[in-house]
């Protein structure tokens, strides 16, 4: 299945604003992060374990155990700093 | 009026408060908070900043925070305005305003909304310093501020 991945702030600068990604059915947000990490290069650096990366599923803050559905909108970003 | 505005333009506190309490004679208190851009942060001078957000999610997240404030506190109305785009030292960034019958609930709801927004609304600040542009780091203290309300932030 396909999900749309969006990046913000420093992750957007490193990886671009958005990309479509194919993932196996039943994948989680954490599984998607691992799959992107496994590409190496900029993805491995920007999404490295140990870096503070937050995520959202369909525009709601989520943790990495959240299960994806076909057509989902996923976002990865650094900790938020508004206000 | 809408409860949440994300905008590049400035806001007028007096006009916002007037609109918030217009037509509601049950209001006996309005509490407001205005956040502004400082000219220093983390030991550097700051000549300006750029605020990025996640269009759509930002509005939804803040609407949900206001719903939660309505559940927790006896308030009559709330309004949040947050600016995005380029900002200069001294500029207003954010407004939270809450009306209620009595001051206690207005003060509390205003602080609750601000604490919630700091760690759960998708905004990111990039500040211009003499050493170049840098993304602002999240503060652990902001997670602690939300924890006082019994909510775990998991942001910083």
How far is A8 from chain B, CA to nearest CA, in Å? 7
B window 100-119, beta carbon within 8 A of A: 114, 117-119
User: How is residue B114 annotated by DSSP?
Assistant: H
Q: Is A10 on the interface with B (CB under 8 A)?
A: yes
Q: Is B62 on the interface with A (CB under 8 A)?
A: no
CA distance A80 to A60: 13
Question: How many CB atoms are located within 10 Å of the residue B105 CB?
Answer: 20
CB contact under 8 A, A75 and B54: yes
Cα-Cα-Cα-Cα dihedral sign, residues A61, B93, B44, B125: positive
Smallest Cα–Cα separation from B49: which of B35, B34, B38? B38
How far is B25 from chain A, CA to nearest CA, in Å? 30
Structure confidence by residue, pLDDT tens digits, A46-59: 999 999 999 999 99
How far is B131 from chain A, CA to nearest CA, in Å? 17
Chain A: residue nearest B80 by CA?
A: A83
Structure confidence by residue, pLDDT tens digits, B133-155: 999 999 999 999 999 999 998 89
- pLDDT of B59 reads 98
Q: Is B121 on the interface with A (CB under 8 A)?
A: yes
Structure confidence by residue, pLDDT tens digits, B87-126: 999 999 999 999 999 999 999 999 999 999 999 999 999 9
Q: Is A67 on the interface with B (CB under 8 A)?
A: no
Q: Indicate if the pLDDT at residue B1 is higher than 80.
A: no
- pLDDT of B103 reads 98
- pLDDT of A76 reads 98
Q: What is the mean pLDDT of residues A74-83?
A: 97
Taking the alpha carbons at both ends of chain A, their separation in whole angstroms is: 37
């Amino acid at each position: 299945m396909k999900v749309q991945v969006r990046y913000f702030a420093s992750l957007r600068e490193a990886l671009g604003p958005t990309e479509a990604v194919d993932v196996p059915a039943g994948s989680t947000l954490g599984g998607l992060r691992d799959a992107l990490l496994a590409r190496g290069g900029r993805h491995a650096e920007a999404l490295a374990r140990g870096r503070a990366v937050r995520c959202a599923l369909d525009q709601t803050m989520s943790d990495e155990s959240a299960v994806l559905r076909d057509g989902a909108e996923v976002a990865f970003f650094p900790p938020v700093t508004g206000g | 009026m809408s409860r949440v505005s994300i905008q590049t333009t400035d806001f007028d506190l007096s006009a916002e408060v007037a609109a918030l309490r217009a037509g509601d004679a049950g209001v006996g208190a309005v509490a407001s908070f205005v956040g502004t851009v400082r000219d220093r942060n983390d030991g550097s001078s700051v000549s300006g900043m750029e605020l990025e957000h996640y269009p759509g999610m930002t509005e939804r997240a803040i609407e949900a925070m206001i719903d939660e404030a309505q559940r927790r506190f006896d308030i009559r109305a709330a309004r949040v305005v947050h600016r995005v785009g380029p900002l200069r030292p001294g500029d207003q960034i954010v407004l939270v305003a809450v009306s209620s019958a009595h001051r206690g609930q207005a003060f509390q709801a205003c602080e609750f909304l601000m604490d919630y927004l700091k760690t759960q609304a998708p905004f990111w600040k990039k500040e211009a310093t003499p050493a170049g542009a840098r993304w602002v780091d999240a503060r652990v203290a902001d997670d602690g501020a939300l924890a006082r309300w019994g909510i775990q932030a998991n942001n910083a």
